[in-house]
Amino acid sequence: MTVALIAVSVVTIGTLGLGTWAVRFARTTSDLFVASRAITPWWNAAAVSGEYLSAASFLGIAGLAMKMGMDAIWLSVGFAAGYLTLLLFVAAPLRRFGSFTISDFVEARLGSPRMRLLAAAIVLGIAGFYLVPQLKGAGITLGEVTGAPYWVGVVVVGVIVAVNVGLGGMRGITYVQAVQFWIKTFAIALPACLLLIYLGGLPHRAALFGADVPRAPAHGLVVKLDSSKTVTFQRATDYRIDGVPRHARAGEKVTLPPGRLVLPAGAAVPLGSGAEKGPGVVWARPVGHGGRDGPLFVYSLLIATVLGTMGLPHILVRFYTNPDGPAARRTTVRVLGLLGIFYLFPTAYGLLGRVLAPGLYVTGETDSVVLRLPHLAWPGAPGNLLSALTAAGAFAAFLSTASGLLVSIAGTLSYDVWGRVTGTAHSTHGRRLRFRVCAVAGMVIPVLIALAASGLDIGVLVGWAFALAASSFCPMFLLGIWWPRLSARGAASGMIAGATVASVGIFAGLIAGENVGGALGALLSQPAVVSVPIAFLTMIGVSLLDSANQLDAAPAMLALHAPEGLGLEQLAEKPAPAEPAPV
Amino acid sequence: MSPPSAGRRRTPRDEMAEATAHGGLYLRRLVRAQLTLSLLALVAFAGILGSLPLLLFLAPALRHVSVLGLPLPIFLVGFPLFPLFVGLGLIYQRRADALDEAFRDLVGR
């Protein structure tokens, strides 16, 4: 896999180099931002999409689809649809308002500096949740490419991103992010198309997963187990571990010791935890009968993704480079188109993976199906080249997303937490140093969690980040932009209520694991359908009771909604200009 | 709008600038029109997206319809929604820009 290593290195060095080079040319933040405001909606849209497409989109959807079945393709739909709600309710007003960090918006709209700290805490939670799966993606990708243990990839990429962000590279660089989008789309689309053609097209290949459980290919299946795994045998199976013959009854749960597992040709592949146990027909349905792939789960997932996108801190910052409200709308429509292209492809990997990479079911590492599928499906040089391409695309995915997230984390930590607590937020002295320290510190906890979370699926982790965003910032933005009566106290109570319910659900689900089935199991694995309405109702209710403390929202409404070109912008009491992260 | 009277010409923009009750009314009307548009688009969007899981749940027979060797539901979820989102987004964007433009015409002269 030397080719893959070279491809990954080229993407990494290219991205970091280009970012650093571009920052040199834009000496100060304002230069950087002013220069970038001449960017066309197409470039902006590619940049937003580039920042958005993370390890979850690139690796996670396919992995989850392979493991749990086709209900995972709702993730593709929801990830794209999130931009439609962003377009309808947030894009233009937020651009006009001129606040691009969530904390700035909260303070300016609700007139309460204290709210910043709460917003900062939730930003850290969401960005942290989102950063962990990026690092997990890095761990498995570097493992696939070099054979290094999981922790090496996590630590190496964590250090690269932290140092790069700390040094000021890859920030606000629209062109780099836009190019990243096309790298990722090319890297996922080309192998998918070529593989389908090589394998004889879809009908021929698709017939394979058919009605059956995953089975070992004609030449048998060898799986190397690094640690002991608990698996369920679907059928009575004879197998060997390190050459010792063994037998399992149908439905038997066995803990396999580390070693070389050998399955004879055509044997049903034992499934690790979390995998859909049913045959192909059950696996292939996007909506199941109930429980973890039932309608309740699907709706909850859709609510989380459709409403969560507007609460992602690293995405909103990107809208600054639109010159005005209508341009923000145009950009968002183009984002929908670009993401629509990308999200056609992860499904193909999930479908082919069930047939061609069944070994991943034993280890449970279906997250690496995109990386491994090409060279399993197409042995020899072409497959290796395509695997190198998907590995490079995966690296592009988590480098860009992780950098964007870490910028948000470091900015929030250094400005809202450190700066506010010590009362030095506005002094420029030491600001750069503070930002650097926070960039490094902000990476430590996500790295530690990623090391512990190697068993969790990327798609699941990101689903939680979306649930948290949908239950806290989404109601705050929707009501803050469109409802003048939202009060600071209402927003605070709603965000706390929503975030608490979502987090409790997530952690309870994590502890209870697969033991809870049915509706409760669905809610614990994706709590948004409960937590989002709770957040909305709390915000509205408390705001109505709080009418004595109403702030005059008229200036904010003017700033949010008055079209440009009337000179009304200057009349509205503008919030303090957004504090862009210092370079 | 009423034609400019001889002498001093007051535009709605001035009324907004002076934060008169009239000015506030203009803006509230715009916000309401934009919100109505967004909510209409949301209803269309949520109606289509939201009915698909229900359809697949209530009509399990669709699973046995095979297209290119794959069950039909995979195609229903995986392909047609994306162009639909773009189409809805485009229609919304045109209408929203038009509302802004109408407001500019009303207030600016």
Q: For chain A, which residues make up each domain, given as ranges?
A: 2-201+281-561, 221-270
**Rg (Cα) of chain A, in Å, rounded?**
24
Residues of chain A found within 8 Å of residue B42, distances taken between Cβ atoms? 85, 88-89
Would an 8 Å CB–CB cutoff place A206 in contact with chain B? yes
Residues of chain B found within 8 Å of residue A92, distances taken between Cβ atoms? 96
Q: In what order do the strands lie in the sheet with A244-248?
A: A221-225, A259-263, A237-241, A244-248
Q: Which of B79, B86, B92 is the mutation pick for testing A, counting most A CBs within 10 A?
A: B86
Would an 8 Å CB–CB cutoff place A309 in contact with chain B? no
Rounded to an integer, the average pLDDT of B50-62 is: 87
Would an 8 Å CB–CB cutoff place B24 in contact with chain A? yes
pLDDT for res A443: 93
Would an 8 Å CB–CB cutoff place B65 in contact with chain A? no
Closest chain B residue by Cα to residue A555: B19
Q: Do B68 and A299 touch (CB under 8 A)?
A: no
3-state class of B65 per DSSP?
coil
Residues of chain A numbered 347-386 and touching chain B (CB < 8 Å): 347, 351
Given a contact cutoff of 8 angstroms between Cβ atoms, the answer to whether A47 and A201 are in contact is no
pLDDT for res B6: 43
* Neighbouring-strand partners of residue A237: A248
Q: Do B49 and A326 touch (CB under 8 A)?
A: no
What is the end-to-end Cα distance of chain A in Å, rounded?
37
Q: Which of B32, B58, B74 is the mutation pick for testing A, counting most A CBs within 10 A?
A: B74
Would an 8 Å CB–CB cutoff place A4 in contact with chain B? no
Given a contact cutoff of 8 angstroms between Cβ atoms, the answer to whether A40 and A422 are in contact is no
State the burial class of residue A514 (Cβ atoms within 10 Å of its Cβ: 0-12, 13-18, 19+): exposed
Residues A463 and A75: their CA atoms lie apart, in Å, by: 8
For tokens 């507007």, name the residue: A310
Q: Do B89 and A344 touch (CB under 8 A)?
A: no
How far is CA A12 from its chain centroid?
19
Residues of chain A numbered 527-566 and touching chain B (CB < 8 Å): 554, 557-558, 561-563, 565-566
Closest CA to B62 of A364, A199, A287, A5: A287
What predicted TM-score, i.e. pTM, was given to this entire model? 0.88
Per-residue pLDDT of chain A (583 residues; tens, 9 = 90+): 578 888 888 888 887 777 666 666 555 554 444 445 567 888 889 989 988 998 888 998 999 898 888 888 999 999 999 999 999 999 999 988 887 788 888 988 888 888 888 999 999 999 988 999 999 999 988 888 888 888 998 999 899 888 888 876 545 567 778 888 999 999 999 999 888 887 766 656 555 555 578 888 888 888 888 888 888 888 888 888 888 888 888 888 888 888 888 888 888 888 887 787 777 778 888 888 776 778 898 999 999 999 999 989 888 888 777 888 899 999 999 999 999 999 999 988 988 888 888 888 888 888 889 998 888 888 888 888 888 889 989 988 888 888 889 988 988 888 888 877 777 666 666 777 888 888 899 999 999 999 988 878 887 888 889 999 999 999 999 999 999 999 999 999 999 999 999 999 888 888 876 667 777 878 888 899 999 999 999 999 999 998 776 667 888 888 888 888 776 665 554 444 444 433 3
Would an 8 Å CB–CB cutoff place B61 in contact with chain A? no
Q: Do B73 and A306 touch (CB under 8 A)?
A: no
pLDDT for res A173: 67
Residues of chain B found within 8 Å of residue A73, distances taken between Cβ atoms? 74, 77-78
Q: Do A333 and B17 touch (CB under 8 A)?
A: no
Would an 8 Å CB–CB cutoff place B18 in contact with chain A? no
Closest chain B residue by Cα to residue A336: B86
Own/partner contacts of A401-404, CB < 8 Å, gap of 24 or more, are A401/A51, A401/A52, A401/A53, A401/A54, A401/A55, A401/A130, A401/A134, A401/A314, A402/A131, A402/A134, A402/A135, A402/A138, A402/A157, A402/A161, A403/A161, A403/A164, A403/A165, A403/A170, A403/A171, A404/A51, A404/A314, A404/A315, A404/A317
Q: Do B104 and A561 touch (CB under 8 A)?
A: no
Does the CA dihedral B83-B85-B91-B96 come out positive or negative? negative
Q: Do B16 and A558 touch (CB under 8 A)?
A: yes
Q: Do A339 and B53 touch (CB under 8 A)?
A: no
Closest CA to A123 of A426, A453, A415, A335: A415
Would an 8 Å CB–CB cutoff place A295 in contact with chain B? yes
Residues A460 and A487: their CA atoms lie apart, in Å, by: 34
Closest chain A residue by Cα to residue B31: A561
Q: Could you name the CATH architecture of A2-201+281-561?
A: Up-down Bundle (1.20)
- Which residues lie below 8 Å from residue A202, measured CB to CB, with a gap of 6+? A196, B68, B69, B70
Would an 8 Å CB–CB cutoff place B25 in contact with chain A? no
Would an 8 Å CB–CB cutoff place B74 in contact with chain A? yes
3-state class of A167 per DSSP?
coil
Closest chain B residue by Cα to residue A562: B27
Residues A343 and A339: their CA atoms lie apart, in Å, by: 6
How far is CA A541 from its chain centroid?
32
Q: Where are the alpha helices (DSSP H) in A217-324?
A: 280-283, 295-308, 313-316
pLDDT for res A80: 95
* Neighbouring-strand partners of residue A261: A223, A241
Q: Which of B66, B100, B103, B107 is the mutation pick for testing A, counting most A CBs within 10 A?
A: B100
Report the residue from A80, A298, A341 with minimal CB separation from B85: A80
In this model, does residue B81 exceed pLDDT 60? yes
pLDDT for res A203: 59
For tokens 């996670």, name the residue: A60
Would an 8 Å CB–CB cutoff place B83 in contact with chain A? yes
Max mean pLDDT range (A78-87, A416-425, B20-29, B52-61):
A78-87
Report the residue from A84, A329, A343 with minimal CB separation from B88: A84
pLDDT for res A581: 39
Closest chain A residue by Cα to residue B106: A566
